[in-house]
Chain A
């Protein structure tokens, strides 16, 4: 066990991925000498060379488009999109090509490509640097969409993503890059929870709190705060947004009878809406209250001086918990 920041855990995981498979590549803007703007790829170009850790031209469509070509030639690119808001020049390549090529070829083509995306707000950034576009990709059949919430998951999930033969959109909670925790870098991946499974982070009996990425820590804190009010919250880190681990979700809601979904993304049309629909359909007779959602308002990301109002926080989560118990 070593104590690592989330960004360092990703770095170690990427290093393992490059060691594990000679076909694995890293490509993106500033990922080489600089080691990425968040230093996630720090030192990897030095150790694995410019042919495997590639500083690409400044063109996101090009990053994903050429990654597809490299994958067709047997390589396994791990791409970095520098910030959430800059994935859109690559949207066409991701949605129309990356997500569909396996289907179009009736399984003949596989595209083992990881697209790493630092996402979410809370760092006081200028526009386009704080967005949460994950639902757009979860809405796109043919992609796996996952997100890590802590350093240990960051370390294993990035390796699992790299060894997946499906395209994986890997959302990294950028405001948690500096969070530290114990990570087991000795044990292999065999014992690790699969990347498409949710994890019950805190067991509880009164209400199910669903979250992922940056909200995992906040929800764990909410469970502690609620406990002092005598409420037992079960916190589930979804980890996989597409596909959703619905078995874990349903089992918990059947037990607790209440469900609140938390994400930084805009509530309207977000992951919470999908989860609420599925939970309502499958757990209808267990529910004591409607599924509630906590997330961003239906506005573009505001100037950073307002982001604390825009983003869900402990108070807004506890407020939703209160409302759920009010039914």
Chain B
């Protein structure tokens, strides 16, 4: 278990300097925080951090060398995209970036468990899932650069828009799943939905309502919670006193906890839950136990609230390294394979970078588009007024217009 800052426990004696009004009694808190330790008996794992393949009775996984190598390739590429985006942000090319570092296995494992007709509802951090769904990473950069609010058509890759308001998308996902039921698309060859959200999101009313709606409707949905231990600066114990996967019981559907840094386990567990949903067996909550290795976003400074020892202990559980070790140990891959993947990832990274640098700003009048299906008289008037206003700079004072940019 990761070492946590002991300072978080209530220490009434150390609180207010004597000159201040006395602090009222702190709410009692136990020194033990069981929810931060993943009980090995409850944690589904198929690949140990050392790269050793282990079996789990409920999740037999037949997987070929080619398939494992494909997963490895995904993991490396999404990490590379993330790395490139962080660099672009540092260079002022992106406004902000939410890194997925450390969560690659949770995203690739679950993402590769989806069929083309399944629908995914992401948060703002699901770059790995986006990759698996086939969305061009450049689209993600558009959003974080401030060129669009996403702007992709969710039906193109069955990957909904990123949702920044915490938890909202879990209800949309549930409603979508209810639509699948009404379309008669449950059963043999059925469809299902996966909703992504974080540990912090589990506190939101919307998420709890989604659990209820999914449950009473027996909707074909998988709730995939990436418990990365942190919601910005707040550790898990600010959101829960019980392991998150156990919450499902109270809502009336099964919950499982999977090693979120184990791509094979994430794949197997999500596959099974999605299949159950497609067949009409209703929702499952999957808690992927993982860790946010980076800052919350590029504007965050985690040194203010967490200890580096915690980070160090999670480094030993790296989601990519264990797959590599497994492939080497079992002689399923030559060294050249790893070099090829590296080279391919670098190429993807360069392409994404170049596309970002060339990305034009949208035309200013485009902000009036798509507010409603038809342009209202009011919007048309505002747009015309704005265009004339812009033109007045261009016509009279070219220098000013430049500065106005």
A59 to B199, CA, bound (A): 12
Q: With A50-B26, A58-B200, A126-B143 as known contacts, state yes or no: A19 contacts B21, CB within 8 Å.
A: yes
A1-9, A29-37, A104-112 - interface stretch: A29-37
Contact of B149 among A47, A127, A297, A310 (CB under 8 A): A127
Interface pair A29/B147, CB less than 8 Å apart: no
Return A102 CB to nearest CB of chain B, in Å. 25
Cα of A302 to Cα of B405 in the assembled complex, Å: 16
* B10 at interface, CB cutoff 8 A: yes
Chain B interface residue count, CB cutoff 8 Å, equals: 62
Complex interface: chain B residues within 8 A of A57 (CB)? 200, 203, 238-239
Closest A residue, CB atoms, query B10:
A50
Binary contact readout A98-137 vs B (1 if CB under 8 angstroms, 0 otherwise) = 0000000000000000000000000011111000000000
- A51-66 interface bits toward B, Cβ cutoff 8 Å, 1 = contact, 0 = none: 1100111110110000
Asked if B206 CB lies within 8 Å of chain A CBs, one says yes
**Interchain CB contact under 8 A, A306 and B367:** yes
A309-B386 CB under 8 A given contacts A48-B23, A51-B25? yes
Enumerate chain B residues within 8 angstroms of A316, measured Cβ to Cβ: 389
Which B183-203 residues have C-beta < 8 A from chain A? 200-201, 203
Contact A47 B378, beta carbon cutoff 8 Å: no
**Given the complex of chains A and B, what is the CA–CA distance between A62 and B149 in angstroms?**
28
Contact stretch, chosen from B73-81, B228-236, B254-262: B228-236
Q: Is B96 in contact with A33, judged by CB distance below 8 angstroms?
A: no
Are A86 and B165 in contact, with the CB atoms below 8 A?
Answer: yes
Which residue of the partner chain, among A47, A306, A307, contacts B366 with CB atoms under 8 Å?
A306
A62 to B203, CA, bound (A): 9
Interface assignment of B20: CB less than 8 Å from any CB of chain A: yes
Contact across chains for B206 and A89 when beta carbons are under 8 A apart: yes
The 8 Å CB contact of A128, one of B145, B165, B305, B362, is: B165
Count of residues in A whose CB is under 8 Å from the partner chain:
50
A128 touching B164, Cβ below 8 Å: yes
Closest to A86 in B: B165
Cα distance A125–B376 when bound, in Å?
28
* Interface of chain B, main secondary structure: loop
Let me know if B149 and A303 touch, CB within 8 A: yes
Q: Hey, what's the 0/1 contact readout for B225-257 against A, CB within 8 Å counting as 1?
A: 000000111100011000000000000000000
- Set A21, A33, A304: member contacting B95, Cβ < 8 A: A304
Give which listed residue, B17, B23, B200, B393, contacts A52 with CB less than 8 A.
B23
**Residue of A57, A307, A319 with highest tally of chain B CB at under 10 A:** A57
Residues 72-94 of chain A: 1 if any B CB is under 8 Å from the residue's CB, otherwise 0? 00000000000001101100000
Closest Cβ of chain A to B405, distance in Å, is 8
Residues of chain A from 292 to 308 with CB closer than 8 A to chain B in the complex: 297-300, 302-308
Q: Check: A189 CB closer than 8 A to any chain B CB.
A: no
The answer to whether A297 and B382 have CB atoms under 8 Å apart is yes
Q: How far is the CB of A210 from chain B (nearest CB, A)?
A: 21
Instruction: Determine the distance from Cα of A306 to Cα of B148 in the docked complex, in whole angstroms.
Output: 9
A51/B23 contact (C-beta < 8 A), A34-B232, A57-B239, A305-B146 known = yes
In the bound complex, CA of A238 to CA of B232 (Å): 35
- A51→B27 contact, CB < 8 A: yes
Q: Apart from A48-B20, A304-B146, what are 18 other A-B pairs with CB-CB below 8 Å? A: A19-B20, A22-B24, A29-B234, A33-B304, A35-B304, A37-B232, A37-B300, A49-B15, A49-B16, A56-B238, A58-B201, A58-B203, A58-B204, A89-B204, A297-B386, A303-B148, A303-B362, A308-B404
Q: What are the nearest 8 A-B pairs in CB distance? A: A304-B146, A49-B15, A34-B233, A22-B21, A57-B203, A58-B200, A302-B367, A49-B23
What are 6 A-B interface contacts by the 8 Å CB criterion? A19-B21, A34-B233, A126-B149, A298-B379, A298-B382, A299-B371
Which residues of A are at the interface with B, using a C-beta cutoff of 8 A? 18-19, 21-22, 29-30, 32-35, 37, 47-52, 55-59, 61-62, 85-86, 88-89, 124-128, 268, 297-300, 302-310, 315-316, 319
**Which residues of B are in contact with A by a Cβ distance under 8 Å?**
8, 10, 12, 15-17, 20-27, 95-96, 124, 143-149, 164-166, 200-201, 203-206, 231-234, 238-239, 299-300, 304-305, 361-362, 364, 366-368, 371, 376, 378-379, 382-383, 386, 389-390, 393, 400, 404-405
